[in-house]
Structures are given as structure tokens and as C-alpha cells.
A and B are shown apart, each in its own frame.
Chain A
Amino acid sequence: MRKRVSQRTSQFNIETNHEINIDLIDSSPTSARFNNSFNQPLTLVLENKYLSMDYFYSKQSIYGYLLFSSATVVTLYLLFTGQGEQFNIGDFLLRTSPYMWALIGCALCVALSVVGAAWGIFVTGSSLVGAAVRAPRIRTKNLISVIFCEVVAIYGLIIAIVFSTKMNGEAFAFESSGLPYTRQAYYGGFALFWGGLTVGLANLFCGICVGIIGSSCALADASDPTLFVKVLVIEIFGSIIGLFGLITGLLIVGKVADF
């Protein structure tokens, strides 16, 4: 018997499938009246899934164990074979090309924005299609929710275009400086990477947010036309989140010189 028990009884949950007796006499306010008829204890078989051992053998935990142990093995191998200095994050950052960072930033910016837009559109769209079956009048009005989601992808695209204009192939430094790339190039690469991630994530969540509200908006409009504008206001607030990302991205890229 799998049973959800109330807070009061769950303190008896020490082990799974453990039989316990709960005496109900004290817990009832009118016990005086029922005292005679309630002398027999209630026997419950309780089972709490969070305390069961299954939790430690789930698929996710096994992946976690594998990852953790393999990382440990590699680290220890490097350490005990005298190659410990290869584990050098600063060196890694200096030696990787700024173009890689910048292009990953552009890619993330577009990809995450498009995922956000697509996500929002299907959340809105499926509800809109369903609700429009019985209330066809809503379909044109509610296209605005789809447009709000679509805008998010356009934000990402704009930023990615702006980012890509910064790269001109001038990042390689003179040998005498001791570093493979110029200072501006390092800054540019990291700025575009993190800027792209910021814009991408902002647009992803903006798209989901607008999509969910747009779906509610379609359903609300279908059942009561006066609700459309009210829900739309909230939707606009949601769509501003994407704009925040856009502004941040533009500010970041403003300080980046061509590299």
C-alpha cells in the first residue's frame, strides 16, 4: 500500500515497509466521546520513497558517479606522473584563440535566442490552435503573442551580427610581447563570449516566459474577450526581459575594439 501520510504521522517513517501502530485517541479533539469505540489502534504500512535506497541507484546518480570517478582518475594520473603543471587554467586561457571565444559567443547568442523563440511559439501556438477551434475570433489578435516570441530570435540575430563585425583577423601579437595574441584580442574574445551567453540566456528565458503567458492569453481571450488586453500587458513586461539582454550585449560590445 503506497500512501501519502500527513505530517503528523510521517515522523514514524523510519524504515520502509515498517509496521507501526498509531494510537489515535490522543490526537482527536473529541476523544472523550469516542474513547470507548476507539481503543483499537490503527495499523498502517507506510512507505516513504525518499528514504528508500532507489534514490541512490537512479540513472542520473550513476552518470554522476562515472563522471566524478573518471575525473579523479585523470587528475591523479597527471599528478603522480609528474605532469601536474599541465593542469593550468591560466595557460589554457592564454593559449586558446580569442576568435574561438568570440565565435562560440556568437553561436550561443543566436542558438539560445532561437531556442527561446521556438519554445515560446510552440507553447503559445498549440494553445492558440486548440482554443481557436471553438473561438475563431482569437486567432488574429493572438498572433501578437507569437510575434513577441519571434522578436526574441531577432534580438539574438542582431547581436550576433554586431558581434561578428568586430572580428578582422588582427589578433596576432608580435613575437617580442611574449603572448600569442594582443591585449585587445583577449578582451574582445572573452567579452564576446560572455556577452553572447548573456544575450542568449536572456532571450531563451524571455521566449519561454512570453510563450507561457501567450498561451494563457489565448485561452483567457477565448473564454472572455475583455481579458485579452490585461494579459497582454503582462506579456509585454515579459518581453522586456529580452530587451535587457539586448542592451547589455550592446554595452559590452561597445568597449570592444576590432581584433
Chain B
Amino acid sequence: MNGTYFNIETGYLEGIVRGYKAGILTAVNYQNLTQCETLDDLKLQLSATDYGNFLSNEPSPLATTTISEKMREKLVQEFQYLRVNSTEPTSIFLDYITYSYMIDNVILLITGTLHNRDTHELLERCHPLGMFDSIAALCVATSISELYNTVMIETPIAPYFEKCLSAHDLDEMNIEIIRNTLYKAYIEDFYNYCQSLGNPTAEVMGELLQFEADRRVINITINSFNTELTKDDRQKLFPTTGKLFPDGILRLGRADDVDQVKLAVDQYSVSFSIFEFPETKSKQEYKGFFDNFNSGTDKSLEDKFFEYEVFLNKRGFMQQFHYSVFYSYLKLKEQEIRNIVWIAEIENLKVTVENVEVTFDPSIIPKEKGTLYFTDEKLYWKSEVNILSIDFPTISIHAIDSGNNRVYCQLDVNPETWLTQESQEKSLGLEEDTPMVEMILTPANVSDVERIFIALSDGASLNPDPNQDDSDEFVYNADDLEEFSMAGQAAIEYLDSVFEARDDRSTELFQYKDNVERDAKRFKNVEEDSPQR
């Protein structure tokens, strides 16, 4: 019966969104994109697709961030068009979709404020779909109840916040708990709303949101191993709408390691037969991506989640007269943006250095050999077990240790939390008062030392650290090193002095410490200011 009434309000928009969906890149498009050698080729290929000439106004040296930003902008425009043309049931449904972005933005701002980041920079990072009027005011809040009373109470996600008002301090752990509590409330609410819309929306969306809930349950479980989170607290974070409810989440709530998770999830073999946990427990962001890159076969759990999500979303389009197409379209498009960014990053690979031994101090990852990949924005290191992605701004010092033929780097990251957090926080997580990580790159081939060093210098000059204004003296521009082979010796000597200087605890490092102290003071001032408001 739904077909008789659905088109009154939503027929036009459904036609539009299906038209958008037809513009999603196909396997042939991806084939062409992977053949590209530079980002300008990529731009040319994309202009032949539904994206059109969305990059035509960009200056020629394209960055992958620009591409992803522009693609996201286009997606948001399309979504806004749907939103302003929609009426009651559709508009509520579309609003529900934006709530998850709101939650992400709120968490991003809280985390950023906690780490004393610049408000404007944080606001730029926010997803445009999750913006609301008073979002900037989030940066002044210091406690969760204050946050709720001043800002959140006027937003549509206020009812979700009520459930986590008991958490008082805002620290890393509590923010993670708040985020998951919010998501739990959101998913349950959205699920119930979809059920109230009746079939086939209830059916298709039910499946999608059940999967979303299950994915969160599994992710929370795996990520909470070896953390302070107790099992009872963990159980409270699980959404109760998934297929794993109630039996499965009870099991997962008591699981101690990945094997138990696997055992619990395997019971639900109908829908979760796709989960084959990889041998290694590492779950770094880019694992599957680089596996495919080197024509490996093993896929990470996250990739399987993505794959299954895409499968469900595609299947949503097989039925007509339901609201899930809007949700599915957004999710598919986001996956497409992720894909294109990955492809762009591969094409952006400036330098590849094979057979590099990487040592960390403190040794968060055991000493291993792998391949280094340099892009404009990031440095990737891939071994047989691990994938690491490091933003250039996090590398505070890099220098050649000419005596041992190796490159020394200092990373501005907290060794305890660095690898366990999700990507978003990883790039944010510059805790100034914690010890840094030392990374020593030892290439098997001696001549690679210079290549690594030049690539690191290029990367550092392309990505100035937004926090450190006077960090220039650590960075050598590529121009300075143009004729490296000739002027190289002098540079190396200078770098040696930097390297030595670190051991002696002389000027440079103290300057760095001064920065730290100054930042800490600024942070205190903010804390003192805020309760008065």
C-alpha cells in the first residue's frame, strides 16, 4: 500500500536521489582512475564523470585534501537540495541522518578544546552536515553538564545527551564514553523512528541500522581490550537494536580477547559469515588499502564492515517507495569519496623507499622491516604486520645520523594512546605534556638515507605545523637542498649538530620546551576564564 501514497510527498525526491545514485562511479571509472599517474590526470578523469568540472577553479598543484573537500562539498550541496525540497516524513528522516554528523562534530570540538586547539581550525574541520547555530559555543564548556545546559539543550541531539550527564570530567576516556553513549541513543532512536514509518522503510532501514549497531558493538568491544573500561561500563555502551541483541552483546560484553569476540559473532553466521578475523590483531586505518596495493589478499575487519555496508546500501536501492535510499545514497557517496581519496593518495606517492627498518622508542611496535611511502601530506610505513600513517606536522624533528647511516625522527604523539585511537583523534592528539616517540629509520641501502631525508624535508615544508610558529628553524626547504649532492655535506654537518644538540639538551630542545610551557599556560588561562561565563 505504501506505493499509493509515498509519491505524494517523496516521489520527486526519490527520482532525484536515484538519479544521483546513477552517477556513482562504476568499476570502469575506478579502473581509469587507478591508471592515472598524477592528480591532474585524476582531475581529468573525474571531470568525465558525474563530478563534472568541480575542480576546475583549483590551482594546478592539487592536494588530496582539496579533492576530498570539494567532493564533500558537492555531496553536501546535493543533500541540502534534498533537505530543502522535502516535507514532513522525509525531512525528519533526513534530519535524523544529520544527527550522527552533529554528534561527530560535538565530540570533535570537545576533544579539540581538551587539547587546546584553535576554535576556528576546529570549526573548519567540522562536517558541514552536522553544523548547528551555537556550535562554536561548545569550545568554552568545561564540564558535561555545562555543555548540556548552555549549548546542547537547544539542539536536536539534546535528548541523547541526557543519558550521559552523569560523567563529570572531560577527559579522553569520558569523551570516548560520551561519544558512544550518544551514538547508542541516536541509533536506537533512529531505529525506532524507522520502525514507525512502516514497511518497506522499516525493513530496509532496520537492516542497515542493525548492522550499524552491530558494527559499533564489535568495534567498542575490540577497542576496549586492555583499557580502563570495565565490562559493565562497556555493556552500557552497546546499542540494543542490532541483530546481536540480546544474546550476542551479552557475550561480547564479557569477551576478553578477539577469539571470544569471533566466537560470539560466529553464532550469527547468517549475516556475519563475512567476518573472518585476520591473524594479526592490528587494526590500523589503512591496512586493507595497502594490502590491495601490494596485491595482498587479506582484508581487515574494517574493510569487511565497509564491504558489507556497501552491499546493504546497494540492496536498499532494489526496493522502491521507502526512505532508505536517502541514507544509502549518502553512505555510498561517502564510501566513494574515501575510495577516490585513497586512489589520489596512492597517485600522490612522491617517494617509495623499500626495505627500511623502523625502530620506535618507546617500542610501541616491535622493530620490523617495511616499506616507506611518502605523499604530500602523510608518511606511510607498511610492514608485513603493521600499517602506520603519520602526518607530517607530527614529526617535530628529523635528522640524519650520518655515523650510523640512519634517519632520526621525533614524533609529537603520546605513545600510549597513539595507536589505539581512531583516525580523527590521531591527527588531533598532540598532548604537549607527554613524552614523544622517537622513530629511527634505517634503510638497508645507504644511499636511501638521503632520499628519506629529502622526502621528509619536502613533507615538512609542505605541511607547516599550525601550532608551532617558530618551528621553521627545524625545517629545511626543498629549495635549500636542491643540489643536495654538492651542498649535502654541509647540511649533514648542521643536522648532526641538531642531532647532537638533542642529546646535550641544549638550545633547540629547550626552545621546544618553552613552547610547551607557554601552551600549558594558555590552556590554564582558558580554564580560569571559562567558569565565569
Contact = CB atoms under 8 A, between A and B. Distances in A.
A28 B18 CA distance: 43
Interface string B227-246: 00000000000001100001
Interface string B241-265: 1000011001100100000000100
B15 interface: yes
A231 B17 CA distance: 21
Interface stretch (A90-98, A212-220, A250-258): A212-220
Contact of B250 (A24, A215, A216): A24
Contacts of B385: none
B270 interface: no
Interface in A1-51: 1-4, 9, 22, 24, 27-30, 33-34, 37-38, 42, 44
Interface in B43-69: none
B16 interface: yes
B19 interface: yes
Interface stretch (B2-10, B291-299, B365-373): B2-10
Residue of B19, B195, B241, B250 with most partner-chain A CB within 10 A: B19
For the residues of B in contact with A, the DSSP-based class is: helix
Contacts of B11: 122-123, 125-127, 130, 215
B12 A42 contact: no
Contact of B246 (A42, A218, A219, A223): A42
Given A4-B195, A127-B11, A130-B16, A219 B320 contact: yes
Given A33-B263, A212-B3, A222-B22, A127 B192 contact: no
For the residues of A in contact with B, the DSSP-based class is: helix
A43 to B, nearest CB: 10
A218 B19 CA distance: 11
Nearest to B250: A42
A194 to B, nearest CB: 25
A242 to B, nearest CB: 16
Given A34-B251, A38-B254, A123 B14 contact: no
Interface string A121-133: 0110111111111
A215 B16 contact: no
A212 B3 CA distance: 6
B464 interface: no
A119 B1 CA distance: 13
B246 A134 contact: no
B223 interface: no
Interface string A202-244: 0000001000100110110011000000000000000000000
B163 to A, nearest CB: 11
A135 interface: yes
Interface in A112-152: 119, 122-123, 125-135
B247 A28 contact: yes
Given A131-B19, A134-B16, A30 B254 contact: no
Contacts, number: 93
B267 A29 contact: yes
Contacts of A24: 246-247, 250
Contacts of A123: 3-4, 7, 11
Contacts of B23: 134
Nearest to B248: A28
B240 A3 contact: yes
B452 interface: no
B263 A133 contact: no
Interface residues of B, number: 29
Contacts of A34: 251, 254
B159 to A, nearest CB: 14
B7 A127 contact: yes
A218 B15 CA distance: 9
Nearest to A37: B254
B20 interface: yes
B437 interface: no
Contact of B16 (A22, A119, A122, A133): A133
B182 interface: no
B441 to A, nearest CB: 45
A38 B264 CA distance: 13
Contacts of A127: 7, 11-12, 14-15
Given A123-B3, A215-B7, A130 B254 contact: no
A128 B254 contact: no
Contacts of B3: 123, 212, 215
A218 B22 CA distance: 13
B430 interface: no
Nearest to A213: B3
B18 A222 contact: yes
Interface string A155-170: 0000000000000000
Given A4-B195, A28-B247, A219 B8 contact: no
Interface of B: 3-4, 7-8, 11-23, 192, 195, 240-241, 246-247, 250-251, 254, 263, 267, 320
27 contacts: A1-B240, A3-B240, A28-B247, A30-B263, A30-B267, A33-B263, A38-B250, A38-B251, A44-B246, A126-B7, A126-B8, A126-B15, A127-B15, A128-B15, A130-B13, A130-B17, A131-B18, A133-B16, A133-B19, A134-B22, A135-B19, A208-B4, A215-B3, A216-B320, A219-B320, A222-B15, A222-B19
10 A-B pairs with the lowest CB-CB distances in the bound complex, closest first: A130-B15, A134-B19, A126-B11, A131-B15, A130-B12, A212-B3, A123-B7, A126-B7, A130-B16, A37-B254
